[in-house]
Amino acid sequence: MQNEAKGGGVEDFFAALYAEPERLRAFLGAMSGLSAGPAQAIAAKFPWKDHKIFMDLGTAQGLLPVTLAHAHPHLGGIGFDLPQVRPVFEEFIAHHGLSDRVRFQAGNFFEDALPKADVIVMGHILHDWDLAQKKALLGKAFEALPKGGAVIAYDPILDDDRRENASAFLPA
């Protein structure tokens, strides 16, 4: 597992976090801060003209969908996350005037089928899980894609000596 700050385990961390609405809201906002730079780069560098629907897996507040939808008016998006995230996501999307193009899909990415999309983005997801879980998530993502689809993953990954990318030591 890449994230060293797990203590009782990543499942315990997320269960506690998602049980407290105000703490969850703060966490989702912090995830937007971590995702702002990558979202801008993905919006600018990926060939979006070739695609129509994207899904942000573990969408949090929805910064990546907002960034993509504003940069590419032809795109529609799905933010996929646990049900507790829905009110924060929908408020954020509505605030940015994108409720007609970006929707929320509640689910657990280990247990539920992923919605079909042309492009699936996984940001700050994979580092939280062991190798088998990483492979399972990537497998589910590729199963949800049509021919010609794409998966974009960005994540803080530690080097084997644990000397580079110190931000990966922090909980996601």
Is this model's pTM higher than 0.75 or not?
yes
CATH superfamily for 10-156 is: Vaccinia Virus protein VP39 (3.40.50.150)
Domain boundaries, the chain: 10-156
Catalytic site includes residue 127: yes
Residue partners of 158: CB distance under 8 A and separation at least 6:
2, 4, 127, 164, 165, 168, 169
**Biggest distance spanned by C-alpha atoms of the chain:** 47
Which position among 70, 72, 96, 127 bears the catalytic label? 127
Per-residue pLDDT of the chain (172 residues; tens, 9 = 90+): 334 344 455 566 666 777 777 776 677 776 776 788 889 999 999 999 999 999 999 898 999 999 999 999 999 999 999 898 899 999 999 999 999 999 999 999 999 999 999 999 998 888 778 889 999 999 999 999 999 999 999 887 666 665 555 444 444 4
